[in-house]
Structure 1
Amino acid sequence: MKTVRALIIGIVVWVLGVSAFTAIYELSLMEDRYLQANIGLALIVPPLVWMGAWIYYKKIKSMHGLKLGVLMLLASASLDALITVPVLIMPYGGSYASFFGSLDFWLIAFEFVLITVLYWHLNVRTHQEKSLNRS
């Protein structure tokens, strides 16, 4: 159940992230709209992932932040492979290789995992250590 919960939260984060990416892409702020959307996504992902970690750890405190981050990223990357690339990337001349090989993808993936580890370290691990020290 812990793994399923992490994957479901990863799916929700993906839905919100793709929605934000698409909305930001439609704004006419920069000449390069793809770059504009990626910058926007990089700014939106940390609060989305933080919120996802907060929701996850409200009920389950035992999973390490690295594992949670990887599971959430796995759900998100799987949906990118199944939906994002065929629907949003390929019609405009992109490919799986260009999407998953892009530095943008890997920076956001790193951000995904880093935020969950940071959340775990600041909000879960410290509370676990305090409760162990009291015993």
Structure 2
Amino acid sequence: MIIQKIFSILCAILVWIIGVSFFLLSFYVPILENLERQSNIVLVIAIIPSACLGTYLFYTKSYMKPSALAITFIIVATILDVLITVPVFIIPNGGSYSEFFGDPMFYAIIVEFYFIVLYFGNYLTKRIKA
């Protein structure tokens, strides 16, 4: 039980690292005039394969209800955003915690993240049981 929780946290950290990497890299390839919007678009797209990868890696070694795994991924990502993303990347560029967590896009990405892990987790668990 404890090992599966630790493994789920490690998979969540991997997903967060991939997501933040794409978010930050998008600033170096300006396509849109509004770089903040561009980075959010990139993150919305990048979270799909990232969440699927983390979910797949988790289910190759362990089992947990997909809804619990999705919540674990979201909690870990939010904690890492509080501890790392905002103070290291957002505040030095003129942002703040309230701006970051007050952005409706943050919550849209959380909902997307939850449903990707839930859907793909359900898919994988059905394949495992079959």
TM-score range relative to shorter protein? over 0.9
CA distance in 2 between counterparts of 1:125 and 1:107 reads 27
Structure 1 equivalent of residue 59 of structure 2:
57
CA distance in 2 between counterparts of 1:115 and 1:73 reads 11
Answering whether residue 18 of structure 2 is matched by residue 16 of structure 1, we say yes
- Alignment RMSD (CA, Å): 1.2
Answering whether residue 75 of structure 2 is matched by residue 78 of structure 1, we say no
The TM-score normalised by the length of structure 1 is 0.89
CA distance in 1 between counterparts of 2:55 and 2:85 reads 23
- 1:24-74 CA-to-partner distances (Å, cap 9, x unmatched) read 11111010001001100100001100010000001113x111110111111
Q: Partner letter of residue 31 of structure 2?
A: L
TM-aligned CA deviation for residue 123 of structure 1:
1.9
TM-aligned CA deviation for residue 90 of structure 1:
1.1
Structure 1 equivalent of residue 38 of structure 2:
36
Unpaired runs of 5+ in structure 1?
131-135
Answering whether residue 75 of structure 2 is matched by residue 108 of structure 1, we say no
TM-aligned CA deviation for residue 127 of structure 1:
4.2
CA distance in 1 between counterparts of 2:102 and 2:28 reads 24
- 1:85-132 CA-to-partner distances (Å, cap 9, x unmatched) read 01111122221111112111111111111111101222203543x4xx
The alignment covers a number of residue pairs equal to 128
Q: 1:58 to 1:127 in 2, by over 3 A?
A: closer
Answering whether residue 78 of structure 2 is matched by residue 48 of structure 1, we say no
CA distance in 2 between counterparts of 1:108 and 1:25 reads 18
Query: Once the two structures are aligned, what percentage of the paired residues are identical?
Result: 31
CA distance in 2 between counterparts of 1:59 and 1:83 reads 28
CA distance in 1 between counterparts of 2:24 and 2:121 reads 30
The TM-score normalised by the length of structure 2 is 0.92
CA distance in 1 between counterparts of 2:98 and 2:92 reads 14
CA distance in 2 between counterparts of 1:38 and 1:9 reads 22
CA distance in 2 between counterparts of 1:14 and 1:120 reads 17
